[in-house]
Structure 1
């Protein structure tokens, strides 16, 4: 059995560690869990005991803020019991892909749809006339703005567009860079092209000679369908 991708390990560890939060329906129930019988006896006030717990005095580890609790609890629920229509998986209807690109994109589809993962795809391909076109694609954004069933049915290829994160048409000399709902484009004088995630503000570096960044992995896919196909998987850490 093939080893799990690093993004799956990071995401899975976080989700598994937060699954216990589902036991609490509200933030107040979570705080009550942290309150001890001794607290109630000495303080004689549930509200004061909850406040002390919220400040972190009744937890051996991290005490979550209300926003952290709601965000992390929601992510666990969405991961294991997705309810929104936008989370219906296109790849789920075609599970046995022989094409490595479809396999890898299908594996990442759900995590990108629910916001656990923000994948950037670098594509180099040739037009029918033999001209090279390349670009950086915000996978989650594309999933939310177009029908991916033709892609996973093998009827359509992923193609870089001028409105993607990055786009370059070599023959025409056209170069574009655009912000997306998930990433901000940054041009750094030393590291070159960077993409900053808008949710956790972590930076993805696409220079292959450098580390891709915190909570980010880089994987090159071997395929004959494209001149080059690289996926940058960024595990999103929501800001508190």
Structure 2
């Protein structure tokens, strides 16, 4: 029974690492190198400058360590970056539902196009813990191996090259575009309304602007969750 469980864990770990390597692969790679094994071997050599690709051992330690030995992704190391320093302060508070943080990021994607978006920090952390490569790779982001790039699964996402706009309700927020107030997010837990324009124009104390050398122009919006009586 134990041997069977061990084999299942090893198989799951192997598939997860393959998915991790796939996140670095571009369409043209598959055109010229149809063999996945060869492509995976070349990933560390072809990664973008400043990007560190984890070895299978490092990946296993990050994603398959025993329950409780590493609850927070920042425990694997934090890069000396102003955005990462700010998010480390908020990681535990978000996980424990003390505050709810939305992160706005304006940067360039892997293809060099300008993109921007709003990320539900708590949901993104939780998704990465359960879905791995399908969400933002927080262990690598905190450690400085990957950049934080918004995508079409986040609360709001814009690709400026073609003007496409995506929006999605998250587990914590409902997206509410308002003709007068602008983009707003309603917190599902306590019903509070977070209006982006108001946070910015009134110099809200829970709104923090951060210029990150690695991640671009960012804004952190903190919501102090009110407990329902």
Q: TM-score range by the shorter chain?
A: 0.5 to 0.7
**Matches for 1:62-141 after TM superposition, within 5 Å:** 88-94=71-77, 97-141=79-123
* Distance of 1:99 and 1:227 partners within structure 2: 11
What is the TM-score when the length of structure 1 is the normalising length? 0.59
Q: Are 2:223 and 1:223 equivalent residues in the alignment?
A: no
Residue aligning to 1:145 = 127
Residue aligning to 1:65 = none
- Check 1:164–1:128 CA distance in 2 against 1; reply closer, same or farther (3 A cut): closer
Residue aligning to 1:210 = 201
Where in structure 1 do 4 or more consecutive aligned residues deviate above 4 Å?
84-87
Residue aligning to 2:36 = none
Give 1:107 shift: 0.9
Residue aligning to 2:32 = none
Give 1:110 shift: 0.2
Give 1:85 shift: 5.0
- Check 1:188–1:86 CA distance in 2 against 1; reply closer, same or farther (3 A cut): farther
Give aligned pairs, total. Answer: 154
Given candidates 162, 172, 177, the residue that maps to 2:162 is 172
Give 1:222 shift: 2.1
Give 1:128 shift: 4.3
Counterpart secondary structure, 1:105: helix
Residues 100 and 221 of structure 1 are in contact (CA less than 8 Å); yes or no, is this contact kept in structure 2? yes
* Distance of 1:185 and 1:212 partners within structure 2: 22
Residue aligning to 2:5 = none
Residues 157 and 167 of structure 2 are in contact (CA less than 8 Å); yes or no, is this contact kept in structure 1? yes
Residue aligning to 1:234 = 223
Structure 2 residue runs of 5 or longer lacking an equivalent are 1-66, 130-137
Give 1:210 shift: 3.2
Structure 1 residue runs of 5 or longer lacking an equivalent are 1-83
> Whose radius of gyration is greater, 1 or 2?
1
Give 1:122 shift: 0.4
